[in-house]
Amino acid sequence: MTQDEINRAEWENPQNWSDSIIGLYFSKRDSRVWVPKRGIGLGWTLNLAHRQGAWLLLGLMLLPPLLRGLFRRGENEDA
C-alpha cells in the first residue's frame, strides 16, 4: 500500500473524525498536515495527530493574544 492509499483510507475512516460541527481530524498514519474536510467544498482542516498540525494549532491560538499585547504596548507608549 502506498502512502497516498494509506492517507485516503485514513481520511475515509470515520473514527479519525470528531463528531463535532468543526470536524477535527486525528490520524497518525496520515502523512498530511492539512487535509480536506469531509464535505465537498468546505475547505481544509489540520491533522491534529501530526506533530506539525498540533504546533500550527497552538500557534494559531496564541497569535491573536500576542498581537493584541504588542499593539496595546504601542498604544501606551504613544500616550
Across residues 37-61, what is the average pLDDT?
87
**29 confidence band (pLDDT: 50, 70, 90):** very high
Q: Are 36 and 47 in contact (CB under 8 A)?
A: no
Residue ranges of the domains in the chain? 3-78
Q: Are 24 and 17 in contact (CB under 8 A)?
A: yes
Question: Above pLDDT 90, what percent of the chain?
Answer: 44
Over 80: is that where the pLDDT of 73 sits?
no
Burial of 25 (0-12, 13-18, 19+ CB in 10 A): buried
Over 90: is that where the pLDDT of 22 sits?
no
Over 80: is that where the pLDDT of 75 sits?
no
Task: Enter the pTM of the model.
Answer: 0.71
